[in-house]
Structures are given as structure tokens and as C-alpha cells.
């Protein structure tokens, strides 16, 4: 017995000692030992960490913690300061409770953990007890309790399903040529996601620029987590009842996009590469000859002299100013590619200027970091330095002098041959100093910033800035495209999900390479892709070197006709599109919207069968399918929906098998929608006719649309030079209301044409007889002979009324 007891005691002692040794490998946050309350900021300390809780607003609470003292606050992503907020703070020996008019945060003291409640006492989100936050070396991770049936969406440019439950992701901006449809990471890091459970939804933004990792129940059934390979645990918790408001609060924190240049919303014809100069003009003139509306031509790296920045290849482009001027007269704006690498070349002006101004990133021994890219061995500007950004902004004058209107920032992960940027290269980080571990993920963001600010100053009008790599807050400076995709059907649909995910993550201006960058699309795949591209925020056709030409006419007459129709449709929808972009500047709502935004608790929208469906603005729902399918199942969310091309009405919360054809993309219009439409134009430099057609789709609930116009090019809209007007449809009052116009800008339209869909039995509007035998075809030419409509399912019979443009607030009653 004595021997057995001794063995049992020794076994227990060994277990305790072993456990204690193991626990030293993981540094837990520990128990709170002191609390200091100063207005909206609460400082706590434990034996293991320093913690700061800040009420950023009624619906936003920030949590910071570190093993050492918290550093001075700094962020490249967050531009908003805390909002003065009414709150109460109550504490006892066990816990501290912070309450606003939206959230109640309960902070347990021993050990430290947080539970976020709504005011009804429901748990929105809570730390996993026993895990909370901990450090393994410099890696810090916060563990959250995994709720039953919890879903996770967003996280920016991430592949996979809409619902990310059961998956893990890494944020480390990476050059991923021809990436697989399940590849991770990609080019962009946006550490913001939305969680959904029990009819509650919330957002979490981890503002840490080191490599970050997110686990949404991957390889475990206990927790979701987010963490970083260095720096602070620094996250913002956002709660609202509606997902729209979560996106609104997140984009208030990280900023919203400015109004884009109108031309940048048009069709863009790209290739790697168009050269020489005469070939560029041939492409532009062919687009005009074949009546394919377009606004942009993009020049890839072959426009440069041996790929050196701020140069032209004089043999290929002997007269760049003449080229851009001719293109401008044809209605095309020119965008050129720029990479960050500055060739190490003794007599190169950019290199010599960079050396003189000491703007390159460096090793610890103060030598410039050098790596190979297209020009050969290169140095790289430090865009985290005010001096480096200022230098780049001055270099942008080169493009202004040559008539360029857009700057495409590529290879800015940083991408180099070998793809192994050393950890020990050093950045200024706005005077704070940082290694590549901390600065890598913001390099693309800061390059976009320098390009935008330089172009804004040098171009004297709204520039178009495109980027491949970025971080949270990207929307303030640039559009994003999804990089080097492949000409495959699953890539087309993966691209749709990448764009809707970025929309959930605050980036409204996004696109993908229509037709696929690598490989070569079949005619049927290209046709389907360009149909979807017409309903992307940024509409870009782009293909790689050593692939077949990918202009619409290269796929045969049928595909040319389909391309012309859908591109023309986009240009007809330009008033709707431009107004929707204005909405993004005001509240962060993306144009390409996951159905989850308005149907967060409808399980069907997360189903792999329906997750590719999306809304394009408030009115349209697009249902893309993989190429080659004869039939597909569409899910109609709550409400009612009209087929765009024949006005067939569909009841919501049901699914339906529909026939699929190469020439028709399934597009539906939400009941109650208001859609302003103009005549077909060949570029945005061409004025439409003086009639604005306003399509109204009958529904049960009142709906409104904020119509917006400005000059599309200058920054005068910031001074009040805009035309803004709220249009409201109220079925209960049987009225269509045009509110009084706001702003100093005169509208370009003189006549408004009211077009009613689904208003059977109504013969008069505003006391005037409606036309009952007019046929409307949004996807092509107007004024089609009605005799041909019977065999054309894309035509629909509508009721119309044409009026002089209403100058003051007016109710039209039916």
C-alpha cells in the first residue's frame, strides 16, 4: 500500500510538473490585477498582458492587448477616431460591464475574457473559456466560442465557399500566377469577417499587418480564432441587427471610396500586351467599327523600354502623346501598368533620382534591398515612408505629361523571382520602423496610396487606380482585380465569389479578367464570362502573353453579337451604375452584393447550389452557372422577382429549374426596384439622348432609389456640383414620387420616360393615358418592331409615359 501510494504521488507530481512546463510554452492572458477607467477607454493589466478596451461608438468596441506596454496608436487602415458615445461602466470583484445603446460587453476578470451581448441579453460573441487570448512566442491568438450553426463570411479576397465554416485562411500577400480555385493566400489581405448565428450577426476586424491566420472551426469543434505572427492583438468588434449596418460601420472605420471617373466604369479592353502603337490603334478602331462600346485601352509591360519604369519603348511607341491623344478622340482613356521595381541601371533617371533621394527599402546594414523582376535587378521604393511616397507622386507626372488617365499597380506584393522577400529588410513605416514581417501586407496599399495621391495632383481630374495587392482600407485609393486567373469555368464562378467576398469586406470597385488570363477560353465560355462581366463593378477583358487573341470578334459572329448586346446593356445602365457607386461612397455598400447581405438568416443563400448568385446594386440578381450546362436551379430570396428579359414574375423563397442558353444570362429584377436607364452610347465621352428612362417594377413595399449625376471627371462634386434626386415608389399610396433635386449640377436629361413593369390593369399615370403596346428590350437596340416580339423571349410588353423632366417635387399617381 505504501509503495502504491508513493507511486501514485510521484505520478501526480510528474503530471503537474509536466503540465506546468508545457503551459510555459503558451502564455495565457491571465487574471486582471488592475483597472483604470477614463471616459470611453478602459485600461487593464494582468501579470501577463496589458489590455485596453475602447468604446469606438455605440456599436463598435475595440480590444487591444500585448505582452508588453501598448505602443502609440497607429494604423494604415483605420481613419476614423472614436465617436463620443453615451455609456455606463459597472464593475465588481468578478467582472466589469460596459453598456452602450447597442452592446453590453462583460469582461470577466479571472481569467480575462470578454462576452458581447445585445441589449436583449443574447450572446453575440464570446471568448472560448479556458483559451481566451494567448501567445506562443510572438504569435498571438484570440479564441472565440464556436456557436451552434455559426457561419462566417467575408475576409476579402479568399477562395472557397461563401460560408467559410470549417476552413482556415492565411493573410500574406502572395503572387499566385494561375492559382487554383482553392488557393490560399492570394494577393490581398483584408482581415475582416462577419459571423452569423441565431438570427444575430456581427463583424470582427483584426487590424494587424503581420501575417494573420483565421480558423473558422478547421480541425476542431470548439472554437473559431484569429491571430497574428507578431504585434498586438488589436481587433474591432461591430454589432448591428442588419448586415448592411455592419458593412457601413466597418467602412466608416477604414474609409470609403471616392467617386470614380465615369469612364472607368465602361468596358476596358486589355491584353498582355498590345504593341506596337499601330496595333493599339487597330484594336480601338475595330471596337468602334464593330459597335462594341468601350472606354479604355490598357498597356501592359511591353510599352516600356526594357521594362524600366517611367519610360516608353521608342521603337514600339514612337509618339506616346500622339497615341493617347488619338485614343482620346476615339473615346478611349489609356491605362498603363506600373510595377514597383526600379531597375538598377547606372544612367537610368528613375534609379539615379531614387538613389539621390534615398527612398529604397534596405537591409539592416543600410544597403538597398535588390531582387530580380522584369527589368532585371531592381531596388524598391519604400511606400511606407512619406519621403518615398512623395518621390513616387512626383514621378507620376511622367504619365500626366503623356496623356495617361489610369495607373495599374501590379507585382506589388512584392513579387520577385524566387518569391522569398527576406524578413530582415527594413521599412520606415512612417517613422516607426518595421521589418518585412510587419510591412509586407501593406506595401501594395501604400503603393496605391502614392499612385492615387500623385495622379490626383498631377492629372487634375479623377484618376483610375487599379491594384493587385492591398490591405484593409484599399477602397480609399484603388480598384482591385483578382489577378492571374485561368480560362476555366470553375475559375469564372470562383471569381464571382472573390468579388462578392471583397464587397462584404468594404471594397466596392472590383473585377476579374473576363475570359481568363492564362490559357484560352472556348467561345461558349467567353460568351458566358462577358455576360457576367457586364454585371461586375470593373469590367475588364484581359488575356496573357502566348494565348490566343481574346477580343470579342475573335470568337465568331455569335459571340460578337452576344458581347455587343451585353456591353451595350451595361452602357444603358450607366445612370443606375453610377448612382450605385455614389451609394458606395456614402455607406460602403458594394455593387456586387452577396445575397447574404439582405438575407443573412436564409440558409439557402449559403448553399453551394446558390452561393454564386449575387445582387448587382439594389435591383438586379444575377444567377451565373458553369459553362456548358443546359439547366440550372435558381433560388429567389424573399420578395418577388421579375425576369429581366420577359418580365415573368417569380415568387420569393422558392427555387426553380430554368433552361440555360449561351446567349442569355439569368438576370432578375427585385419587385419594387427603380432603375434609371439611358440610350446606348459607344463610350462615356458620348452624350446619350436627352431622355432618361426610369423603369419601375411593381411590388408590395415602398422602395426608393437615389439618382445621382455629376460631371464624371472633376472633383467639383465635393463642392456641391452634383445632381441628386430621390425617386420613391409607394404601392400603398399608388404613387411615384420625384423629390426635389439637390446640388448645383444641371442634369444632362430633359425628358423622363416612366416605364412600368407588372402594373396590369393600370391605364393612366398622372392622369395621362399609358401606352399599352410598347415593347422594351433592355439588351440591345430600342424601338424594336413589335411584330418580331413573339419569337423573341427577350422582349417584354410594358406601359410607358413620357414627360418633360420634372423640375420640382412631384407625385405621379396611378
For the annotated catalytic residues, the residue numbers are 410, 413, 484
The reply to whether omega before 260 is within 30° of 0 (cis) is no
DSSP string of 214-265, one letter each residue? EESSTT-SSEEEEEESSS-EEEEEEE-SSHHHHHHHHHHHH--PPPPPGGGG
SS (H, E, C) 416-430: CCCCCCCCCCEECCC
DSSP string of 116-160, one letter each residue? EEETTS-EEEEBPTTTSEEEETTEEEEEEE--TT-EEEE-SS--S
Q: Do 251 and 475 meet the contact criterion of CB atoms below 8 Å apart?
A: yes
Look at the chain and count its residues. Answer: 814
Helices and strands per DSSP (H, E), number in the chain: 13, 54
SS (H, E, C) 323-390: HHHHHHHCCCEEEEEECCCEECCCCCHHHHHHHHHCCECECCCCCECCEEECCEEEECECCCCHHHHH
The reply to whether omega before 802 is within 30° of 0 (cis) is no
3-state secondary structure of 5: helix
The reply to whether omega before 414 is within 30° of 0 (cis) is yes
CB atoms within 10 A of CB 771: 12
Q: Do 722 and 747 meet the contact criterion of CB atoms below 8 Å apart?
A: no
Phi-psi region of 158 (alpha: psi -120 to 50; beta: other; left: phi over 0): beta
3-state secondary structure of 593: strand
d(CA 718, CA 804): 29
Half-sphere exposure at residue 150, Cβ-oriented, CA atoms within 13 angstroms: 26
- In eight-state DSSP terms, residue 460 is S
The reply to whether omega before 510 is within 30° of 0 (cis) is no
Q: Do 268 and 618 meet the contact criterion of CB atoms below 8 Å apart?
A: no
Q: Do 271 and 303 meet the contact criterion of CB atoms below 8 Å apart?
A: no
Q: Do 737 and 810 meet the contact criterion of CB atoms below 8 Å apart?
A: yes
Q: Taking the alpha carbons of 508, 509, 510, 515 in that order, is the dihedral positive or negative?
A: positive
Q: Quick one: CA torsion of 595, 600, 604, 607, rounded to 10 degrees?
A: 80
Amino acid at each position: 500500500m505504501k509503495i502504491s501510494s508513493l507511486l501514485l504521488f510521484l505520478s501526480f507530481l510528474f503530471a503537474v510538473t509536466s503540465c506546468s512546463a508545457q503551459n510555459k510554452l503558451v502564455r495565457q492572458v491571465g487574471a486582471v490585477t488592475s483597472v483604470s477607467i477614463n471616459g470611453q477607454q478602459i485600461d487593464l493589466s494582468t501579470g501577463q498582458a496589458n489590455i485596453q478596451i475602447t468604446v469606438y461608438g455605440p456599436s463598435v468596441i475595440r480590444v487591444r492587448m500585448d505582452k508588453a506596454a501598448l505602443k502609440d496608436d497607429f494604423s494604415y487602415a483605420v481613419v476614423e477616431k472614436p465617436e463620443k458615445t453615451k455609456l455606463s461602466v459597472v464593475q465588481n470583484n468578478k467582472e466589469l460591464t460596459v453598456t452602450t445603446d447597442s452592446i453590453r460587453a462583460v469582461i470577466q476578470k479571472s481569467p480575462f475574457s470578454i462576452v458581447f451581448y445585445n441589449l436583449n441579453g443574447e450572446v453575440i460573441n464570446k471568448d472560448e473559456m479556458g483559451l481566451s487570448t494567448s501567445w506562443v512566442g510572438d504569435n498571438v491568438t484570440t479564441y472565440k466560442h464556436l456557436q451552434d450553426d455559426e457561419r462566417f463570411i467575408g475576409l476579402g479576397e479568399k477562395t472557397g465557399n461563401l460560408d467559410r465554416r470549417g476552413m482556415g485562411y492565411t493573410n500574406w500577400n502572395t503572387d499566385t500566377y494561375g492559382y487554383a480555385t482553392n488557393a490560399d493566400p492570394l494577393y490581398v489581405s483584408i482581415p475582416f469577417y462577419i459571423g452569423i448565428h441565431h438570427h444575430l450577426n456581427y463583424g470582427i476586424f483584426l487590424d494587424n499587418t503581420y501575417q494573420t491566420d483565421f480558423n473558422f472551426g478547421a480541425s476542431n469543434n470548439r472554437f473559431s480564432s484569429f491571430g497574428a505572427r507578431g504585434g498586438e492583438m488589436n481587433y474591432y468588434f461591430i454589432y448591428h441587427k442588419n448586415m448592411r449596418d455592419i458593412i457601413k460601420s466597418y467602412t466608416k472605420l477604414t474609409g470609403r471610396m471616392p467617386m470614380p471617373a465615369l469612364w472607368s466604369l465602361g468596358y476596358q479592353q486589355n491584353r498582355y500586351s498590345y504593341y506596337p502603337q499601330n496595333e493599339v490603334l487597330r484594336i480601338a478602331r475595330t471596337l468602334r467599327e464593330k459597335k462594341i462600346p468601350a472606354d479604355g485601352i490598357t498597356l501592359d509591360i511591353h510599352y516600356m523600354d526594357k521594362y524600366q519604369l517611367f519610360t516608353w519603348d521608342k521603337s514600339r511607341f514612337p509618339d506616346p502623346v500622339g497615341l493617347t491623344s488619338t485614343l482620346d478622340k476615339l473615346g478611349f482613356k489609356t491605362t498603363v501598368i506600373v510595377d514597383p521595381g526600379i531597375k538598377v541601371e547606372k544612367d537610368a533617371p528613375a534609379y539615379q533620382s531614387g538613389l539621390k533621394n534615398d527612398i529604397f527599402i534596405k537591409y539592416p546594414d543600410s544597403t538597398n534591398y535588390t531582387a530580380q523582376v522584369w527589368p532585371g535587378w531592381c531596388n524598391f521604393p519604400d511606400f511606407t515612408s512619406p519621403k518615398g511616397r512623395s518621390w513616387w507622386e512626383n514621378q507620376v507626372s511622367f504619365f500626366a505629361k503623356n496623356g495617361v488617365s489610369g495607373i495599374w499597380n501590379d507585382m506589388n506584393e512584392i513579387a520577385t523571382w524566387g518569391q522569398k522577400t527576406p524578413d530582415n529588410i527594413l521599412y520606415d513605416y512612417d517613422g516607426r520602423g518595421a521589418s518585412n514581417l510587419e510591412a509586407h501586407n501593406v506595401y501594395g496599399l501604400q503603393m496605391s496610396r502614392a499612385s492615387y495621391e500623385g495622379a490626383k495632383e498631377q492629372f487634375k481630374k479623377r484618376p483610375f487606380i487599379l491594384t493587385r495587392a492591398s490591405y484593409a482600407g484599399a477602397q480609399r485609393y484603388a480598384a482591385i482585380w483578382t489577378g492571374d486567373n485561368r480560362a476555366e469555368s470553375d475559375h469564372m464562378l470562383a471569381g464571382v465569389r472573390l468579388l462578392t467576398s471583397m464587397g462584404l469586406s468594404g471594397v466596392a470597385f472590383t473585377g476579374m479578367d473576363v475570359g481568363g488570363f492564362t490559357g484560352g477560353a472556348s467561345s461558349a465560355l467567353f460568351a458566358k464570362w462577358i455576360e457576367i462581366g457586364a454585371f461586375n463593378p470593373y469590367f475588364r477583358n484581359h488575356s496573357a502573353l502566348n494565348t490566343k487573341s481574346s477580343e470579342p470578334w475573335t470568337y465568331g459572329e455569335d459571340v460578337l453579337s452576344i458581347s455587343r448586346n451585353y456591353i451595350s446593356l451595361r452602357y444603358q445602365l450607366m445612370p443606375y451604375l453610377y448612382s450605385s457607386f455614389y451609394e458606395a461612397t456614402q455607406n460602403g455598400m458594394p455593387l456586387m452584393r452577396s445575397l447574404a447581405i439582405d438575407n443573412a438568416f436564409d440558409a439557402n443563400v449559403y448553399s453551394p447550389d446558390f452561393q454564386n448568385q449575387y445582387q448587382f446594386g439594389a435591383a438586379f440578381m444575377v444567377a451565373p452557372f458553369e459553362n456548358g450546362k443546359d439547366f440550372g436551379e435558381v433560388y429567389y430570396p424573399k420578395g418577388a422577382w421579375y425576369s429581366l428579359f420577359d418580365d415573368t414574375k417569380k415568387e420569393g423563397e422558392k427555387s426553380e429549374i430554368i433552361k440555360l442558353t449561351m446567349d442569355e444570362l439569368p438576370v432578375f429584377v427585385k419587385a419594387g426596384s427603380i432603375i434609371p436607364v439611358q440610350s446606348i452610347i459607344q463610350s462615356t465621352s458620348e452624350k446619350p439622348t436627352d431622355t432618361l428612362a426610369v423603369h419601375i417594377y411593381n411590388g408590395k413595399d415602398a422602395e426608393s432609389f437615389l439618382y445621382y449625376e455629376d460631371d464624371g471627371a472633376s472633383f467639383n462634386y465635393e463642392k456641391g456640383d452634383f445632381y441628386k434626386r430621390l425617386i420613391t415608389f409607394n404601392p400603398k399610396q399608388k404613387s411615384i414620387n420625384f423629390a426635389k433635386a439637390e446640388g448645383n449640377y444641371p442634369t444632362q436629361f430633359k425628358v423622363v420616360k416612366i416605364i412600368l413593369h407588372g402594373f396590369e390593369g393600370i391605364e393612366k399615370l398622372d392622369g395621362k393615358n399609358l401606352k399599352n403596346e410598347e415593347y422594351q428590350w433592355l439588351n440591345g437596340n430600342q424601338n424594336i418592331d413589335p411584330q418580331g416580339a413573339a419569337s423573341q423571349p427577350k422582349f417584354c410588353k410594358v406601359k410607358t409615359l413620357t414627360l418633360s423632366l420634372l423640375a420640382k417635387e412631384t407625385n405621379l399617381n396611378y
